[in-house]
Amino acid sequence: MDNVFRLTEGKKMFVEYEKYFSSPRNWDNVCSFIFIGNYSHLGDKHDFDESHDSFDAHQEHIEKQLDIAFITPIYAYVHSGMTISTEPFSCRWDSGKLGWVVMTKQALRENYGVKRVTKKLIEKAMIHVECEVKTLDNYIKGNVYWFKIEDKEGKEVDSCGGFFGDIEENGMLEWLSKEDREVLLEQI
């Protein structure tokens, strides 16, 4: 998506793919992504034995090793690209379980500043799970962008990167004035 958009006062906004952005799994995340097999490098580093015969056996092993608040499978669809989800994909040939997203009770306590982990807190924390899965999915698909804005003379006046997902939802529009935002949205 290498696009140039006209803005007000003769300015131009250049939006391009962020080519050298590191994995969001290197950030300070609330959840752990434990992937096994050929795509284990996309998740978090872990020391879990990958020699179990089935995903169920892997999950049981993980549950024995960690004080888990919840664990849910992550599924991948790999065909001319890759996408991930907490919901299974319908294609049985090109999709399957990739691993798990895990939230430990300790992570909940630290991130929410509580002593007791309740069902209500776990439900609230599911927002983190969906956000972290969506962010990693955008990274895997290459949906990470940066922009720069030039004035009418071609001088750079602003730039920023690390926007994950569609331009209408990723926060990039918040950098623009209301007028520039309206002009840009007419061009998308």
How high is the pLDDT of residue 1?
45
Q: Are the beta carbons of 29 and 132 closer than 8 angstroms? A: yes
Q: Is the pLDDT at 130 greater than 50, yes or no?
A: yes
How high is the pLDDT of residue 2?
52
For the stretch 140-170, pLDDT in tens is: 999 999 999 999 999 999 999 999 999 999 9
Structure tokens belonging to residue 47: 């020391």
For the stretch 69-108, pLDDT in tens is: 999 999 999 999 999 999 999 998 999 999 999 999 999 9
Average pLDDT rounded to a whole number, residues 131-147: 96
> pTM score, two decimals?
0.88
For the stretch 87-96, pLDDT in tens is: 999 998 999 9
Judged by average pLDDT, the poorest of 19-28, 49-58, 178-187 is 49-58
Angle between helices 119-141 and 105-112 (to 10 degrees): 90
Q: What is the signed CA dihedral for 151, 156, 161, 163, rounded to 10 degrees?
A: 0
- Scan for tokens 């006046």, then name that residue: 157
Average pLDDT, the chain: 93
Question: Using the 8-state DSSP alphabet, how is residue 153 labeled?
Answer: T
Strands (E), the chain: 3-6, 12-17, 32-35, 68-78, 82-85, 95-104, 144-150, 156-164
How high is the pLDDT of residue 54?
86
